[in-house]
Amino acid sequence: MITGKHLIAGEWVAGEKTFSSSPSSGSSHDFSVGTSAHVDAAVEAAEEAFWSFGYSSRAERAALLNKIADEIDARGDAITEIGVQESGLPEGRLQGERGRTVGQLRLFATHIESGDYLDRRHDEALPDRAPVPRPELYMMQRPIGPVAVFGASNFPLAFSTAGGDTAAALAAGCPVVVKGHSAHPGTSEIVAQAIDAALKALDMHPGIFSLVQGGTREAAQTLVKHPLIKAVGFTGSLFGGRALFDLCAARPEPIPFFGELGSVNPMFLLPSAVAARGEEIAKGWAGSLTMGAGQFCTNPGIAVVMEGAEGDAFLAAASAALEPTQSQTMLTDGIAKAYRDGRDRVQAGAGVREVMTSTCDLRNATPYLYVVSGKDWMANEELSEEVFGPLGLVVVVKDFDEMVALAKSLVGQLTCTIHMDDADAANAKALLPVIERKAGRILVNGFPTGVEVSDTMVHGGPYPASTNFGATSVGTLAIRRFLRPICYQNLPTSILPSDLG
């Protein structure tokens, strides 16, 4: 049942103003607009909760994560129904995303139970060392305090209310205040109901989790500027993320802003691979480019290929593979408009030639394919900006040296991909050090739109892919964003934290 209210420290709270959801199908619902007062109440409760939750056992936090997963699964049909209505995503996609969401909650539960994330270290005392004795020293990671999390438009579950940021923060021992995304407020509310039920079932402090719905920018700005918030997790646009990042940096106490802001995820196609299986690569690229209407931050928007007959054949094969693609519903009217604006920006670029066109309007997306020379691409920074949708740009370079020069000109990316055969190994080895400096994940002979939730995954990269290149928003390493190391010197065993005992 959708109430349209905020969840603040275990209570469902209404507001004076409301906003209406804009579903792709089904009925619209009214939701309370988040205000500064709602944010203050949620953050104050989170700070109070930290004094117990931040010092809870790993077993207690693991039990909470697993219980949240159970409660989300128990509401699976309701989540899928409202999620399909609000986002326009197909039922199978929502079910798969729910599986990913509960899977990463359970993964973090297992991860913290092992204790490896604590990075515990111990230097024994050396009282007889000359010329200066050494005290006994312990070190481990500790939670930082209340964390703000912003829901993402393109993942109503896996990157939103109980998504990766929330799972990592709760695993670390940090209470969470979620700013819900106005594109899927009903989905957010039902997931919040699951978290609330889990907290009540385990008799844990209600301030551990709150959801404040959107409607205006007021709640977002108040949340990142609140003095009790110690970090922010964000997945969204470069424009919105940069604005919040600047607010975090301008605070009297600056805090880390872990923003994942998007990427064009370039693919570098080496000659032998293109000659041997250019058509196969083109078909795979078309499938990755149009998956989910191209609404993935890892969407491979650019393919870099060397000029020649094989490159021309790749371009023709990509066009043929994209041609039959039907229109798909985009997540919001605003995203659909931004896609059309991005198409117009690319199309207007100097030297850009249209290869395959289509017609998209309203909330629909159809694919586009363009080609441009490496020289013209490097001369126009706008061509390196993300277009959120199924638009592909083939960049044709004269030779391998120009391919390397193009790679060096890239800004930060979430991913870079090399398509190669054995005969391309020397070129691939020369290209690798360049793209290592540009991206957080490097693929060979694959497509980046599948992001595994695991111990080794890195979903982040140099700016503007993300605002903190040493972090990831996917995988167990994400927990480190919400921890800080503390050294304990000469503490008696009786008062050492239990994880060091």
Contacts 24+ apart (CB under 8 A), 490-495: 490/125, 490/135, 490/136, 491/138
Does the active-site annotation cover 297?
Answer: yes
Catalytic residue among 48, 86, 97, 260: 260
Q: What is the C-alpha separation between 113 and 116, in angstroms, rounded?
A: 8
Catalytic residue among 248, 297, 360, 416: 297
391, 367 Cβ separation under 8 angstroms = yes
Which residues 6+ apart lie within 8 Å of 500 measured at CB? 120, 122, 138, 140, 488
Give me the DSSP letters along 265-328.
--EEE-HHHHHHHHHHHHHHHHHHHHGGGG--TT---EEEEESSHHHHHHHHHHHHHHTTPPPE
Contacts 24+ apart (CB under 8 A), 87-94: 87/24, 87/156, 87/183, 87/184, 87/187, 87/331, 88/24, 88/25, 88/329, 88/330, 88/331, 88/363, 89/156, 89/292, 89/331, 93/292, 94/156, 94/157
What amino acid positions are annotated as catalytic residues? Answer: 260, 297
